[in-house]
């Protein structure tokens, strides 16, 4: 896939999963729960001990999935994540080196931003989409106001997004939302029901 095709695929459902666990086995299990529940895109946070191991294992067992790496904060981590199979990279903050490294290998990068100034700078650096982080510090109304001035900014609210307010973020102009335990908690059956309901609500939002 070209970068733009990957971005379209990751955001097509208007939500992607985030996995952050105590180890690689737990990460694989959590990611599989989300994938089996119906999500196509899942990010493995590199704050997970041996997160790259989990990413590589999932890449082998789920080659059809859109698996990404999160909390990527330098070029070395970006290169390692791509080698482990990451198809997109996400950062909590803006690191031009991560963007350059990802793009060198045809992988889109979603850096973290929290102000209009950071959004513009990230776009100037070539970011493929912008992770609004932490979303809990803002509101859908704030995002709507920002997009009135920066309609070209593809925003991904992450951090504190819930199944209840995710449709509000989409209606306000977000491209997609990143969600973690709010989707996977409660076991496979609960996750499947929650994801199915959320996808239906997001499809009709905005």
Please tell me the distance from the alpha carbon of residue 197 to that of residue 97, in angstroms, as a whole number: 38
Task: Name the CA dihedral angle for 7, 37, 70, 77, rounded to a multiple of 10 degrees.
Answer: -90
Q: What is the DSSP letter of 158?
A: B
* Residue 185: active-site member: no
Closest CA to 150 of 183, 133, 175: 175
Q: Count of CB atoms within 10 A of residue 148's CB? A: 9
Residue among 5, 26, 36, 43 flagged as catalytic: 43
Please tell me the distance from the alpha carbon of residue 128 to that of residue 131, in angstroms, as a whole number: 10
* Residue 97: active-site member: no
**Burial class of residue 151 (count of CB atoms within 10 Å of its CB; 0-12, 13-18, 19+):** exposed
Residue among 124, 125, 131, 193 flagged as catalytic: 131
Catalytic residue IDs: 43, 131
């Amino acid at each position: 896939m070209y970068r733009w095709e990957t971005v379209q695929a990751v955001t097509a459902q208007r939500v992607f999963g985030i996995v952050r666990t105590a180890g690689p086995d737990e990460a694989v299990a959590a990611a599989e729960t989300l994938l089996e529940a119906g999500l196509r895109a899942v990010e493995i946070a590199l704050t997970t001990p041996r997160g790259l191991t989990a990413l590589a294992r999932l890449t082998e067992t789920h080659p059809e999935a859109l698996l990404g790496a999160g909390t990527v904060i330098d070029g070395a981590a970006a290169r390692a994540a791509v080698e482990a199979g990451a198809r997109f990279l996400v950062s909590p903050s803006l690191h031009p080196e991560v963007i350059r490294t990802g793009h060198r290998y045809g992988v889109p990068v979603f850096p973290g931003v929290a102000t209009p100034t950071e959004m513009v700078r990230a776009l100037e650096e070539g970011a493929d989409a912008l992770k609004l982080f932490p979303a809990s510090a803002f509101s859908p109304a704030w995002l709507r106001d920002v997009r009135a001035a920066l309609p070209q900014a593809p925003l991904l609210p992450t951090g504190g997004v819930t199944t209840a307010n995710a449709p509000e973020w989409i209606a306000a102009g977000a491209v997609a939302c990143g969600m973690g335990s709010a989707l996977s908690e409660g076991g496979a059956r609960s996750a499947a029901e929650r994801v199915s309901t959320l996808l239906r609500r997001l499809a009709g939002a905005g």
